[in-house]
Structure 1
Amino acid sequence: MGSKQESEFNKVFSAWDILVIAFGAMIGWGWVVSSGDWIQSGGVFGAMLGFVIGGIMIFFIGLTYAELTPAMPECGGEHVFSYRAMGPTGSFVCTWAIILGYVSVVCFEACAMPTIITYLYPPFLKGYLYTVAGFDVYASWLCVAIITAAVITLINLLGAKTAAVLQTVLTVIIGGAGILLIVASLFSGSPANLAGQEFVGNSGGEAFSNIIKVAMMSPFFFIGFDVIPQAAEEINVPLKKIAKMLLLSIVLAVGFYVLVIFAVGYVMNAQTIAASNSGNGLVTADAMALAFHSSVMAKVLIVGGLCGIITSWNSFLIGGSRAMYSMAKSYMLPPVFGTLSKKYKSPIAALLLIGVLSMLAPFLGRKMLVWVVDAGNFACCLAYCMVAISFVILRKKEPEMKRPYKVKYYKFVGFMAIAMSGMMCVMYMIPGSGATLAPVEWSLILGWAGIGVVFYAVCKYRYKEKFGTLKEIWNAELDGSAQKAAQEEGGEAAAAVSGEKPLVALSFERKAEEIRPELSFNYYLPVHIVFGRGKIAEAGNLACQYGRKALIVTGRSSAKKSGLYDKVNNSLLRAGMETVLFDKAEPNPLTTTAMEGAGLARKQGCDVVVAVGGGSIMDAAKGIAFAAVNEGDIRDYIYGKKSSDSALPLVLIPTTCGTGSEGNGFAVFTNPDNGDKKSLRCPAIVAKASLVDPDCMKTMPKRTLAAVGFDALCHCMEAYTAHNATPFTDALCLYAIPLIADNLPDLVNGRESDEAWEKLSIASTIGGMVIGTAGVTLAHAMEHPVSGLKNVTHGLGLAAITPVTLEVNCRESRYKYGRLARILGGYTAEDCAWKVRTLLKAIGLDVTLADLGIEEKDTDWLADNCIRVSAANLKNNPAALSRDEIAELYRLALRGEDLEIPRAVSL
């Protein structure tokens, strides 16, 4: 994933456009040919009630779309929703299913057009060719179908607005024909016609059963509202209004069907409907003729039905092409389907493919296409179910997501949407349900699934890490409105946007993705790593190559208690060296400690420094080796007042697997005068040899292991996402991160093995190496003031701060943070912070800054110190942050409220 980018589409759809696209897709042709079946199945009032119930069922599904579409107004709709909730695989299944639904309708409508002409003018059929599944195919029938398909495809190729104009004209005609029927029925109809056909059934139970049958069938006539989210990037309407238009389209479609059923039943009695249904089957058209006492009006209504064919066709062509485009942009389909016309901004390849399929479909005959549509309806219901599930998952996983239209009682709505869509899927499987799929239809579904598996496997193999990426589209309303309100009106405005308590008014500006410049970098890391269990015995042989008298730097007690100091000292003595002990190095070493150790080294004539301990010990040793041969205070070199490229040779023996100090030329010190924590950086303090022995790590207390292990993870994650990252450091990071994530929880929780210790030790050293080149970013920049102020263990400070920094940065580098999330067990970039919090809980480090002694009054000092001392790390960070924004992050980490950034902050 990358950072947010501008949409490639033109925003051309108005509120009216999206309303007619959805409404036109839902009313189609079915109301012309099926009204008699509905009435005979449930009665006039029973069928009306059935459609109301079915509409309510669909409305619950529509509510989930209404919330998700404005929250993620990006091309592809279901693709984006399911991706954010379920990751690439779930998104592939959902979008591939909805594409089948769309393509099947487009192909069917290509056959419906000449079929309706046949109804109007039977002599139209000329030039018999062949028969498919009992359906006779004629040359004239094929010509009309192919020509119409070509025209509809061409209209869409000419741009979304052209298609919307066509949709508007035809939908007005359909609506006009329907309204004419409804109004005329009130004058020409009679309550007497309703007698005996209000409900169907000899008992209340039987009537209710028939109502439910109509209700269970009716949702299939409402498929089409979901085209709106497919074209969300092309809509030029306030986001909240998109949701309202989507829901209004469902309400209008339900009302239309219900009123048409009433009009037919009010004009025609049961016997007339039965005769019409067994005759030409165009009961609604016959009702129109009776209402106006003119057979000409029947043809007028049929023309309205013809318009319904085209509106459905047009809508689903828009939806299908956008779904294919969105998959191609995620490299789930060949990228050619993700190209847009430069002039009209229409997805050319996707439209052409669906258009060609709609031209070829008529050759299979109408019966075959009925099977395809049934299979497509099942696929749509499956996609609806996955969207409903995504709705619930995202409410749990991303509660802070800005939702311009937020559904109340989301648990109930989500349950109903999942239940309703799931029930529709099940109906296709239950014999006798009225929607049961035939074997040939199941074979079509399995065939489509098989094609999907092929695309999935081939694209994943061919495009590798690009597969399943999602470019987030910058949206001014989502990214700018809340910020502007917060800036202009303060915390109350921000709270009004998000529903959260007032926060500091912040301005995290979003920018379109910039074109990445040509790769250009340097990589130099002269580190001699000696790795292996039992290698501590070689300490003397290594050190004697660089001097004859060693200053052994260690802590006050741990190395002595564990016996490691004795092992190293004895090894040095066996190699013929003299040794001097400096055991005053402390956690978060002070500059004064480095100066004291340097004085001892000079006094004793030491010519090599050997460190035995964790990161603080190794940093202290580096400072001592540097200060021992350079004049003045080490602080002058840390702050750049002086410079030098000299130090005593260093041999480092880490006893903790976390800081990685053995792999770089950094040494972090705290200035006791002002609490500043800043690093000395110099090639001369890169160790001549680092002896990494996993057995030396095993004496660590579990709490220490958790802290240093998490520090190592942060090194790799920050180096991977830093501005200074290189392909080499990326490769090392991606190798090391899973080693830590997979082994640290086991080691902390007592599930130890030599292999796990080896992997964690390797990863820790790699962490030090990569930050030596790529550097660290926001989490380390913010943590150094914390441990400088309160002498907090570095890894604990990172544990409190890192999740909120991930919430900020994941939106700036979605590709890399998405990859990190997947390594850690998540799916999208937003999962990264969540999975890190999960890891912290697993290793017992789910702490807040308050737990570490930080108070609200400290946050301003911390922010000021961070800006002053860690400017380079902040510059290296994916997101550019102001002083006030950093202070707010400290406050969020202090409270530890799920360690997530409320959307009022608009990070």
Structure 2
Amino acid sequence: MDKKKSEFDKVFSAWDILVIAFGAMIGWGWVVSSGDWIQRGGVLGAMIGFALGGVMIFFVGLTYAELTAAMPQCGGEHVFSYKAMGPIGSFICTWAIVLGYVSVVCFEACALPTIITYIYPGFLKGYLYTVAGFDIYASWLAVAILVAIFMTIINILGAKTAAVLQTVLTVIIGGVGLLLIASSVITGDVANLEPQLFVGDSASTVIKSVFSVAVVTPFFFIGFDVIPQAAEEINVPLKKIGKIMIFSIVLAVVFYALIIFGVGYVMSPADIEISLSGSGLVTADAMAKAFNSSVMSKVLIVGGMCGIITSWNSFLIGGSRAMYSMAESYMIPRPFSKLHKKHKTPVNALLLIGGLSVAAPFLGRKMLVWIVDAGNFGCCLAYCMVAASFIILRTKAPEMARPYKVKHYKIVGAIAVLMSGFMVVMYMIPGSGSTLVVQEWAMVGGWSILGVVFCIGCKLKYKEKFASHIDVEVEELNTEPDAVTTTLEKALETVRSEKVEKEETPAIDFSYFLPVNIVFGSGKVKKAGELTKPYGKKALIVTGRSSAKKSGIYDKVKDSLEAAGLTTVLYDKVSQNPLTTTAEEGAAFAKENHCDVVVAIGGGSIMDCAKAIAFLSKNKGDISDYIYNRLRSDEALPLVLIPTTCGTGSEGNGFAVLTNPENGDKKSLRCNAIVAKVSIIDPECMMTMPKKVLASVAFDALCHNIEAYTSRIAQPFTDALSLYAIDLIAHNLVDVYNGTAGKEGWEKITLASTIGGMVINTAGVTLAHGMEHPASGLKNIVHGQGLAALTPVIIEASYKGNREKFSKIARIMGGMTAEDCSTKIRTLLKKLNLDCTLSDLGIKEEDIPWMAENCMKVSAAGVMNNPVVFSKEEIAEIYRKAL
């Protein structure tokens, strides 16, 4: 799958994302609503209610934590829901969360100047008009507009600038909150708590009152979800991001609970009642009473004002990134995906949201209360869809790398869906205390209609680009432990071990020999005659029964050979998993017709059989004696190989895999004499392959490169070639299989296949091929399908033998650690419709003893080359796991 590099700057530290999330959640509510919470549930009851509400959000947060670490891409909800639900689900989810973010930004623009009136009652000057009972003053309007412009500019100037502002303000909020809590502990009185610990005179009424608080609390925790929106800008290991997100929720719960305790400890029920009927700012009045100074109430209000700015700032970050991600997928107008050239912030999205926050105060505070309630509904709907996406992706993509992986995902996911769904329903049920009024439903409806307009308009304008998505490459920083952690772990491992051995890097010592002449390029098959002429006058053309003729390649080669002056005869009896008897028959046919050069057209089976024919045409005796090295020879007819499948790599080595029909042994003849004099590798010859054949042979090519790379006899040249080929296959095969790659993709897959054949000539194969040969020798199964059934299971058993190399393979294929390698292989197999088990291929439990025995016989070298060398009994167990 194609990936792109992130265009954002990674500027957010762990502290930055903590204060962004925490600052978004604490806001202004703790200043104005503490008295109401205590009257609803009592001091202890309200604290328990917040804890329960925190638990509800905690489960939703767990789903976010796992998904953010797994898919650290700008847009958060957009990416999660896209992967799980597709374009429509993604549009609904992201459009809903954008409503939530924009509504909060607009509301805070009105809240800030309103709070100033609490500090300076004479602030309101220049009455202008009234909206929904709210008076608009020129001074009020001016402050709102100026701060809105300031906040927009701060966010455009860079994410780090916004984070610095967030840090300063969050520290002020925390400091003011701690002042209240500490002073209330010192000056408060337990007598204030006793009559208002709980509300209700029976267990049932107490529980009801506690839940009345719990029901409203989730809405005060909205904001932690800003973190995934800015995931591409976070310079923190992925696993740590999930932990910070969860910690921010816990921190917010503790903050609210302690504020409730502080207010209740210093304010009696009568004090709270007086405060509510007066200023309404019970928390500020509690601060004044604790310090016995009215000035301190204003200090606390200033802290609350900082909470407004932190929420405003966080939701500007979240809203602009959500819009950017939708524009990147062509779901809303493309200009919203523009980043500032210098500061790398989504400038157009910020200008739009900032412009709305400038215009919002003209509507008055009452209108904005309706908008923010509608926005909260949007946030809760998005939470529910993300929680559902969490469950879907655990089923749909179990192999996905999850640096922060939630345990008991079914329980966590179910609770998260139920809790967030409950929050959505609360907005709909009359009398719930959260039901949207007609005006608020009108705003939800209007936003939905705007979304439909964008959806249809962008679909018509951008056509096939609409709802497209490209993953962002995950940088190394986010995939590996930091140096300190790694060093500590190694030290601990050394301390724990009973025996410490000195590890030394072995000296580089190897030999490499491969006399193959490769002619690579589109259209090169037309030069078959010119390239074959130096090696003979009469060519035996070896093919399968029909494919080379149907594709027209046979005629092209025959005509080219004859045009160069060669005469030809055809041997077309080769089938998959070629038999030793077929090779013997072909050699007799070649001798009978006095052929002096062999030209093979086809896949690995045909090329391998052609090699054996060329060999037997010059050597006497049973070919099995040569296969098992009882006899040796370095003679064979010259070979010209023209592969038509990009898989076995037989054109690049001196191997010929044959099956003995008498005993089922499938083993390779190996000698330099059967290395082709010329291998004509023309990617255009591959393009007639059926998709099913392509999947099978290309996976074989991948296995060649993986096995050569992880082989115990690998060496520098084979390592370099193997890694290059693995990367070519990993990033092109699915597109080639789906028909979206073009000739360039075919060239890359074909090249990787040839490299695979070359590297196994030197580094050999390992256990996957070693165990597959007995299976296909026994049941004549398709080689690539046998590898598909065995390879993931074998890697799971073998990766500990060379973690470093399996980690590199995993990262090339989109994973992170050696443990991810097998899951990434399974993902690829599913995309190729090649995932299967040995049982699917006709292998039964009773076949395993023979296959394990045969593996030790015919694949002894592959067994010994494997990163972990297994016994016959262990190999039998691996076969069972692959059933």
Structure 2 length as normaliser, TM-score? 0.68
Partner of residue 165, structure 2: 166
Confirm or deny: 8 A CA contact 2:155 2:162 kept in the other structure.
Answer: yes
Partner of residue 247, structure 1: 246
Confirm or deny: 8 A CA contact 1:615 1:659 kept in the other structure.
Answer: yes
Please give the alpha-carbon distance, in whole angstroms, between the structure 1 residues aligned to 2:449 and 2:701.
39
Matches within 5 A, 1:526-675: 585=574, 587-589=576-578, 593-594=582-583, 596-597=585-586, 599-600=588-589, 603=592, 670=656, 674-675=668-669
Residues 1:415 and 1:290: Cα distance change in structure 2 (over 3 Å): same
Q: Displacement of 1:303 after TM fit? A: 1.3
Confirm or deny: 8 A CA contact 1:25 1:311 kept in the other structure.
Answer: yes
Matches within 5 A, 1:761-776: 775=753
Q: Displacement of 1:212 after TM fit? A: 0.6
Please give the alpha-carbon distance, in whole angstroms, between the structure 1 residues aligned to 2:683 and 2:316.
64
Instruction: List per-residue Cα deviations over 1:403-455 (Å, max 9, x = no partner).
Output: 55544444433332222222112211211111112233333334434444455
Matched, 1:126 2:125: yes
Please give the alpha-carbon distance, in whole angstroms, between the structure 2 residues aligned to 1:75 and 1:795.
38
Residues 1:608 and 1:165: Cα distance change in structure 2 (over 3 Å): closer
Matched, 1:355 2:354: yes
Partner of residue 740, structure 1: none
Partner of residue 180, structure 1: 179
For structure 1, the 5+ residue unaligned runs are 497-504, 507-520, 528-548, 560-578, 653-657, 695-705, 738-766, 816-827, 866-882, 901-907
Moved more, 425-434 or 349-358: 349-358
Please give the alpha-carbon distance, in whole angstroms, between the structure 2 residues aligned to 1:725 and 1:396.
26
Instruction: List per-residue Cα deviations over 1:674-731 (Å, max 9, x = no partner).
Output: 54599969789999999x999xxxxxxxxxxx99696378599999x98779999998
Moved more, 587-596 or 300-309: 587-596
Q: Which amino acid aligns with 1:347?
A: P
Q: Displacement of 1:171 after TM fit? A: 1.9
Instruction: List per-residue Cα deviations over 1:357-390 (Å, max 9, x = no partner).
Output: 2222222322222222112212222232333334
Partner of residue 537, structure 1: none
Partner of residue 9, structure 2: 9
Partner of residue 821, structure 1: none
Partner of residue 465, structure 2: 464
Instruction: List per-residue Cα deviations over 1:536-590 (Å, max 9, x = no partner).
Output: xxxxxxxxxxxxx9999889xx99xxxxxxxxxxxxxxxxxxx999797464336
Partner of residue 878, structure 2: 895
Matched, 1:844 2:844: no
1:311 partner SS: helix
1:245 partner SS: helix
Confirm or deny: 8 A CA contact 2:542 2:600 kept in the other structure.
Answer: yes
Residues 1:469 and 1:457: Cα distance change in structure 2 (over 3 Å): farther
Residues 1:630 and 1:350: Cα distance change in structure 2 (over 3 Å): farther
Q: Displacement of 1:215 after TM fit? A: 0.4
Please give the alpha-carbon distance, in whole angstroms, between the structure 2 residues aligned to 1:525 and 1:786.
36
Please give the alpha-carbon distance, in whole angstroms, between the structure 2 residues aligned to 1:492 and 1:399.
30
Partner of residue 738, structure 2: 734
2:135 partner SS: strand
Matches within 5 A, 1:60-209: 60-86=59-85, 89-194=88-193, 196-209=195-208
Partner of residue 696, structure 2: 711
Q: Displacement of 1:595 after TM fit? A: 7.1
Residues 1:660 and 1:315: Cα distance change in structure 2 (over 3 Å): closer
Q: What is the RMSD of the two structures over their aligned residues, measured on CA atoms? A: 6.0
Confirm or deny: 8 A CA contact 1:619 1:668 kept in the other structure.
Answer: no
Confirm or deny: 8 A CA contact 2:726 2:812 kept in the other structure.
Answer: no
Please give the alpha-carbon distance, in whole angstroms, between the structure 2 residues aligned to 1:491 and 1:800.
38
Residues 1:49 and 1:597: Cα distance change in structure 2 (over 3 Å): closer
Confirm or deny: 8 A CA contact 1:201 1:210 kept in the other structure.
Answer: yes
Matches within 5 A, 1:840-879: 840=836, 844-845=840-841, 853=852, 855=855, 861-862=861-862
Residues 1:153 and 1:770: Cα distance change in structure 2 (over 3 Å): closer
Partner of residue 414, structure 1: 413
Please give the alpha-carbon distance, in whole angstroms, between the structure 2 residues aligned to 1:687 and 1:222.
57
1:670 partner SS: strand
Q: Displacement of 1:306 after TM fit? A: 1.0
Q: Displacement of 1:245 after TM fit? A: 3.4
Moved more, 680-689 or 41-50: 680-689
Q: Displacement of 1:157 after TM fit? A: 2.2
Confirm or deny: 8 A CA contact 2:173 2:304 kept in the other structure.
Answer: yes
Q: Displacement of 1:112 after TM fit? A: 0.7
Please give the alpha-carbon distance, in whole angstroms, between the structure 2 residues aligned to 1:769 and 1:342.
36
Please give the alpha-carbon distance, in whole angstroms, between the structure 1 residues aligned to 2:730 and 2:259.
66
2:153 partner SS: helix
Confirm or deny: 8 A CA contact 1:666 1:680 kept in the other structure.
Answer: yes
Please give the alpha-carbon distance, in whole angstroms, between the structure 2 residues aligned to 1:115 and 1:8.
36
Partner of residue 368, structure 1: 367
Q: Displacement of 1:270 after TM fit? A: 3.0
Residues 1:371 and 1:265: Cα distance change in structure 2 (over 3 Å): same
Partner of residue 875, structure 1: none
For structure 2, the 5+ residue unaligned runs are 498-503, 506-519, 527-538, 548-567, 627-632, 659-666, 706-724, 796-805, 816-823
Structure 1 length as normaliser, TM-score? 0.67
Partner of residue 477, structure 2: 476
Please give the alpha-carbon distance, in whole angstroms, between the structure 2 residues aligned to 1:71 and 1:723.
21
Q: Displacement of 1:591 after TM fit? A: 8.4
Q: Displacement of 1:307 after TM fit? A: 1.1
Residues 1:863 and 1:131: Cα distance change in structure 2 (over 3 Å): farther
2:343 partner SS: coil
Please give the alpha-carbon distance, in whole angstroms, between the structure 2 residues aligned to 1:306 and 1:28.
8
1:137 partner SS: strand
Please give the alpha-carbon distance, in whole angstroms, between the structure 2 residues aligned to 1:138 and 1:46.
40
Matches within 5 A, 1:492-531: 523-524=522-523
Partner of residue 764, structure 1: none
Q: Displacement of 1:208 after TM fit? A: 1.8
Please give the alpha-carbon distance, in whole angstroms, between the structure 2 residues aligned to 1:716 and 1:94.
41
Partner of residue 439, structure 2: 440
Residues 1:294 and 1:670: Cα distance change in structure 2 (over 3 Å): same
Please give the alpha-carbon distance, in whole angstroms, between the structure 1 residues aligned to 2:19 and 2:488.
38
Confirm or deny: 8 A CA contact 1:67 1:243 kept in the other structure.
Answer: yes
Q: Which amino acid aligns with 1:799?
A: A
Partner of residue 565, structure 1: none
Q: Displacement of 1:487 after TM fit? A: 14
Q: Displacement of 1:266 after TM fit? A: 3.3
Partner of residue 531, structure 2: none
Confirm or deny: 8 A CA contact 2:18 2:248 kept in the other structure.
Answer: yes
2:196 partner SS: coil
Matched, 1:388 2:392: no
Q: Displacement of 1:218 after TM fit? A: 0.7
Please give the alpha-carbon distance, in whole angstroms, between the structure 2 residues aligned to 1:410 and 1:798.
31
1:468 partner SS: coil
Residues 1:713 and 1:131: Cα distance change in structure 2 (over 3 Å): farther
Residues 1:261 and 1:858: Cα distance change in structure 2 (over 3 Å): farther
Confirm or deny: 8 A CA contact 1:321 1:354 kept in the other structure.
Answer: yes
Q: Which amino acid aligns with 1:845?
A: L
Residues 1:171 and 1:644: Cα distance change in structure 2 (over 3 Å): same
Q: Which amino acid aligns with 1:670?
A: A
Please give the alpha-carbon distance, in whole angstroms, between the structure 2 residues aligned to 1:325 and 1:374.
24
Partner of residue 799, structure 1: 788
1:199 partner SS: coil
1:840 partner SS: coil
Q: Displacement of 1:309 after TM fit? A: 0.6
Please give the alpha-carbon distance, in whole angstroms, between the structure 2 residues aligned to 1:432 and 1:418.
23
Aligned-pair identity in percent equals 52
